[in-house]
């Protein structure tokens, strides 16, 4: 009798996993394409730093935001474009981050030190494209303005971000059309 129960449990676990993977693959919600600007200014609290992304039926399913990372003196040295599910808390994973094990500077990160010589000379350049295949989304980012200043007094060593202006487009990936 015990082997029969074990087989049933194993089959049930397999079936639930299979159904969940099917519903996730089939359930990629289509979004209403978004074109927006996100901006940060160290001198102004009026910066546009988050925007909802809505499904085609009008429900907010994601929130796109610009989040700062501070140094020990509370200067903004990095900003990240973050995509989260609408109901997620601030500690939830950035959906723009690669899955699995990864490290290093990513296209959704904007470090002051990377812009010491301007956006054209930055690691990713002024235009970045992030494909989020598991969500069926493509995010395009253009750095339309950036100002940095040295934190150490030596230009090019460590820069803080004084301002960053981004033009962002979020759209359904071409293979997500139905």
Instruction: Name the fold adopted by 31-176.
Output: Tick-borne Encephalitis virus Glycoprotein; domain 1 (2.60.98)
The pLDDT confidence band at residue 65, using thresholds 50, 70 and 90, is very high
Q: How many CA atoms lie within 13 A of 102 on its CB side?
A: 9
Q: What is the pLDDT of residue 22?
A: 38
Q: Write out pLDDT tens, residues 68-109.
A: 998 888 889 999 999 999 999 878 999 999 988 888 999 999
User: In the chain, pLDDT over 90 holds for what percent of residues?
Assistant: 62
Reply yes or no on whether the pLDDT at 164 is more than 80.
yes
Q: What is the pLDDT of residue 44?
A: 77
3-class SS letters over 58-123: CCEEEEEEEEEEECCCCCEEEEEEEEEECCCCCCCCCCCCCCCCCCCCCCCEEEHHHHCCCHHHCC
Reply yes or no on whether the pLDDT at 130 is more than 60.
yes
Q: What is the pLDDT of residue 156?
A: 58
Q: Are 138 and 129 in contact (CB under 8 A)?
A: yes
Q: What is the mean pLDDT of residues 12-39?
A: 65
Q: Are 42 and 160 in contact (CB under 8 A)?
A: yes
Q: In Å, how far are 22, 52, 178 from 175, measured between CA atoms?
A: 17, 23, 9
Q: Are 139 and 107 in contact (CB under 8 A)?
A: no
The pLDDT confidence band at residue 124, using thresholds 50, 70 and 90, is very high
Q: What is the pLDDT of residue 91?
A: 82
CA separation for the pair 63, 34 (Å, rounded): 11
User: pTM, whole model, 2 decimals?
Assistant: 0.79
Q: Are 14 and 20 in contact (CB under 8 A)?
A: no
């Amino acid at each position: 009798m015990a082997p029969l129960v074990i087989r049933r449990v194993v089959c049930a676990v397999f079936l639930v996993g299979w159904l969940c993977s099917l519903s996730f693959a089939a359930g990629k919600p289509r979004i209403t394409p978004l074109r927006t600007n996100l901006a940060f200014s160290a001198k102004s609290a009026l910066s546009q730093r988050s925007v909802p992304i809505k499904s085609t039926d009008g429900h907010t399913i994601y929130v796109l935001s610009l989040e700062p990372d501070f140094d020990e003196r509370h200067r903004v040295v990095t900003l990240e474009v973050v995509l989260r599910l609408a109901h997620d808390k601030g500690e939830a994973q950035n959906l723009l981050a690669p899955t699995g094990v990864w490290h290093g500077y990513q296209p959704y990160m904007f470090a002051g030190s990377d812009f010491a010589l301007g956006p054209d000379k930055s690691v990713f350049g002024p235009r970045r494209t992030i494909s989020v295949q598991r969500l069926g989304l493509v995010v395009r980012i253009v750095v339309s303005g950036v100002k940095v200043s040295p934190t150490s007094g030596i230009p090019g060593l460590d820069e803080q971000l004084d301002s960053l202006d981004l033009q962002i487009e979020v759209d359904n990936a071409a293979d997500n059309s139905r």
